[in-house]
Structure 1
Amino acid sequence: LLPVGGTYTMTAEEAAQAANRIKPKVAVPMHYGTIVGSIEDAHRFRDLCQVEVSILPQER
């Protein structure tokens, strides 16, 4: 689980860099769109990752 969204968490670029370094089997972005950011941050994260990414639906 990687916090994505910027300001209070990593940017999509920073989170992707972290995921690419630790090489998990699956990376899951979280916290995007809760205070700042949006689903677009999760998509950008996925596009930058060299590992499998699972974007889970947000609960509201």
Structure 2
Amino acid sequence: MIRALFLLLVVVAIVLGIIGVVAKGLFYLLVIGVMVLLADFVLLGLRLRLGRRRGLPL
């Protein structure tokens, strides 16, 4: 479940980034895509760190 959510957020970030680069005047979508990608990696890092302590599976 968590892996599917991670992959979904990565795909959303990539799509927003591409639309933000291609479409004129939609640079804010690129910024939002980068922010979603960074948040996704932060959540993944927290999940991995907490998972090691508690022995939780990914």
TM normalised by structure 2 equals 0.30
Higher strand residue share: 1
Q: Give the number of the structure with larger relative contact order, counting CA–CA contacts within 8 Å between residues 6 or more apart.
A: 1
Higher helix residue share: 2
TM normalised by structure 1 equals 0.30
